Amino acid sequence: MKRNRGRLGQYKVLASEEKLQQYLVETQRYSFRTLLSLLERYDCVSLKQTYGAEEVLVYIKNNSYVIAVENSVLSVSDGTSLREVLEEQLEQSKYVIQPVLDWEAATKKVYRSIITLHRATRFNEWEIVWKNSSCLNLFEQYAYYASFDRIKEVLTLVAEKLYDAYPDCQTIDIEITYTFNSELWIYDTTIHYAVSKWSQYHALSSNTLVAPLLPKTSLLNYKSFRNFMYRYWEVVIKPCYGQHGNGIVKVEKKLWQPYDIHALNKIRNAQHIDEIYTDLKGYYFSAKPYIVQRRIPLATVENCPIDVRVMLTKVNGEWRVTGKIVKVAGENFFITNAVQKVLKLEEAIEKSSLWWKDSLTISKRMDEICLEAANHLDQQVLELQHIGFDLGITNSGRIWLFEGNYKPDISMFYELDDKSIYDNVMNHIRDAKNSS
């Protein structure tokens, strides 16, 4: 039976485990009747999309209903008005509803955090690989470490139960609240499959040779976005699932100037980080998980950024580099998915802004990186046959590994005038198919 992968489906999976029931925050399918019932028992309730990040808070204050969405707060006096506002706000999406137990967190010393667990294969143990600790204050961090043993034990059981229900997931985000007294509640879970950029980042991060080549990356939420902007001044946000550059946005802070928001080939300005996050969330990542990543300043050709696609195919159990191609971004684009033209590596390096133009050494180093990454991912991703790695290179010649595509686009190799590279890629694909 195919299980529902949304919030309610995951909640039901966890609720079936008796050992977890005491930690789960009650979650139901949204209805207006359920909302009124919960407001009789709790100070505040939360409405969340079954799939997505949008959250609506409803609470009672001074005998009025208050509806809060991001930075927007609206007060209505009666249930009829509340229903009308929610019907307009929630539109056509399906929602779940749950109480907010840490509504008065400041007085109750309750802290909220998102923790990511990952494991390479079903034979490995689940490990905590990320938490938004860099965004926590000292009291929150102290409470977390004071409760660490219990948190790890419970969250490992959560991961095991979700993996049993969704056996292709490798990475799981778990939103919790906790106290100094080791009280713990589980609010939310998000599962990631192997193709998720967040899952792949943690898979590659476990390789000591590859990890230093990955741009610093975090699960996107308000705290991580603010933290990355303050630390790096220039970041890229990407959907965990997606291809062809869809939904990718760059945000840049320049000294004494407003923020630049760069999407496709358009740039607009914003004054405040809160304004940016609210705007981007409404337009981009309210419906699916995103990551935030440090922006790497790439070398250019004719002032347009470039990156390198390295194609690998596994033939008779051995990974082989079959072709490289340099993608030149279109004018005013910051990513190369909007390709202006493609070039052979040697030609691109000669025309580039690189200070050091030793194409043979650069090509050899890229081969080493991609073969190491491919062999590492091959141990974690089932039935992996082809990978197209995207590598970036800075003016100083430093190479960065951005991501691996498990269904890479082969057609771009045909666009080269020299068809020998395309022929080599296709010949290896045929060899792989014949050997399987």
Distance CA 373, CA 418 (A): 27
Q: How confident is the model at residue 107 (pLDDT cuts 50, 70, 90)?
A: very low
d(CA 327, CA 298): 12
Cβ proximity of 320 and 310 under 8 Å = no
- The rounded mean pLDDT for the chain is 89
DSSP-assigned beta bridge partners for residue 325: 309
Q: Are 236 and 250 in contact (CB under 8 A)?
A: yes
300/352 Cα distance (integer angstroms)? 5
Report, as an integer, the average pLDDT of 123-145. Answer: 77
How confident is the model over 293-337, as pLDDT tens digits?
Answer: 999 999 999 999 999 999 999 999 999 999 999 999 988 888 877
CB contact burial 384-396 (16+ within 10 A = b; e otherwise):
bebbbbbbbbeee
DSSP 180-225: TT--EEEEEEEEEETTSHHHHHHHHHTSTTTGGGSPPEEE-SHHHH
pLDDT > 70? residue 112: yes
Distance CA 345, CA 373 (A): 20
Backbone φ and ψ of 12, nearest 5°: -65, -35
pLDDT value for 125? 93
pLDDT digits over 222-251, tens only? 889 999 999 999 999 999 998 777 889 999
Task: State the pLDDT at residue 340.
Answer: 81
Of the pLDDT bands very low, low, confident and very high (cuts 50, 70, 90), residue 93 is confident
Q: How far apart are CA 403 and CA 406, in angstroms?
A: 10
| pLDDT one-digit tens code per residue, 46-87 | 999 888 777 899 999 999 999 998 768 899 999 999 999 998
d(CA 244, CA 238): 11
* Residue 104 scores a pLDDT above 70: no
Does residue 1 register a pLDDT over 60? no
Using the predicted structure, report yes or no on whether residue 157 has a pLDDT greater than 50. yes
Q: What is the Cα–Cα distance from 42 to 49, expressed in whole angstroms?
A: 20
Question: How confident is the model over 163-183, as pLDDT tens digits?
Answer: 999 998 999 999 998 887 778
Q: Can you say how many angstroms the Cα of residue 265 is from the centroid of all Cα atoms in its chain? A: 23
d(CA 15, CA 26): 9
* pLDDT surpasses 60 at 133: no
Q: Is the model's pTM score more than 0.75?
A: yes
- DSSP of 328-373: EEPTT-SSTTSEEEEE-HHHHHHHB--S---HHHHHHHHHHHHHHH
Cα–Cα distance, 102 to 125 (Å, whole number): 31
DSSP string, 32-96: HHHHHHHHTT-SEEEEEESSSS-EEEEEEETTEEEEEETTEEEEESSHHHHHHHHHHHHTT--EE
- Give the model's pLDDT for residue 236: 95
Q: Which of 57-71, 155-169, 203-217, 282-296 has the lowest mean pLDDT?
A: 282-296
Q: How many whole angstroms separate alpha carbon 391 and alpha carbon 373?
A: 12
Is the model more confident about 294 or about 122?
Answer: 294
pLDDT tens, position by position, 5-40 = 889 999 999 999 999 999 999 999 999 999 999 999
pLDDT at residue 379 tops 80? yes
